[in-house]
Amino acid sequence: MTAQPSALSTSNAPARTATTAPADGFVEALYASGPAPELGDDANVYGWLVGSWEMRVVDYPPDAAPREAAGEWHFAWVLEGRAVQDVFIVPARSLRDSSTPPPKGNRYGSSIRVYDAAAGAWKVIWINPVNGTEVHLVGRRVGDEIVQEGRYADGSPIRWSFVDITPDSFTWRGERSTDGGATWLLEAEFFGRRMADAGGR
């Protein structure tokens, strides 16, 4: 019996590229036009984010001056409307230059948010392949804010919050604690404004 060639690439073979347009197949299967009915009012915790946002991103390094960049953040319902996924890009695609080394604060990652009915909260996973970051958080509505709590890989508590929320703008605030949550250090702020031609309200 003649052995068939493997579909897996080897060190001597080029990586296989997509044979269909990005909008075909995968995106169609992933995207959902709205939330799943079983989410009820809990869909509103993140549903207001659906659409596209222009971002002003300010990082606050502990040993350097604040660093500012322009970015973009896109949100959609996915997986039959049972999850909200985003793509967060800093610098924005129009400003990215693959011929030069990535700037500090480079992000091209994604979060997925899934509601846990038993816990009454949203589970959030953020992954940034640029630097290998992976963060797990739990998100809840707290008054007029969305507060997401988790830990970095070193165990230090983090708190990522959406505040100052309006239909067309918000502020995202990233904080870290080095004393078990007694005090918090501001690490970053993202200022979002809904893109004029983006839907999803």
Predicted confidence (pLDDT) per residue in 67-84, tens digit? 999 999 999 999 999 999
Of the listed ranges 5-14, 46-55, 104-113, 188-197, the one predicted with least confidence? 5-14
Q: How confident is the model at residue 98 (pLDDT cuts 50, 70, 90)?
A: confident
Helix (H) or strand (E) holding 59: strand 51-59
pLDDT tens profile 141-163: 999 999 999 999 999 999 999 99
Ordered by start, the domain boundaries in the chain are: 26-194
**Average predicted confidence (pLDDT) for the chain:** 90
User: Cβ distance 71 to 94 under 8 Å?
Assistant: no
The reported pLDDT for the residue numbered 102 is 73
**pTM as predicted:** 0.86
Question: What is the CATH architecture assignment of 26-194?
Answer: Beta Barrel (2.40)
The DSSP bridge pattern shows strands 133-142 and 51-59 to be unpaired
| Bridge partners for 125 per DSSP | 112, 136
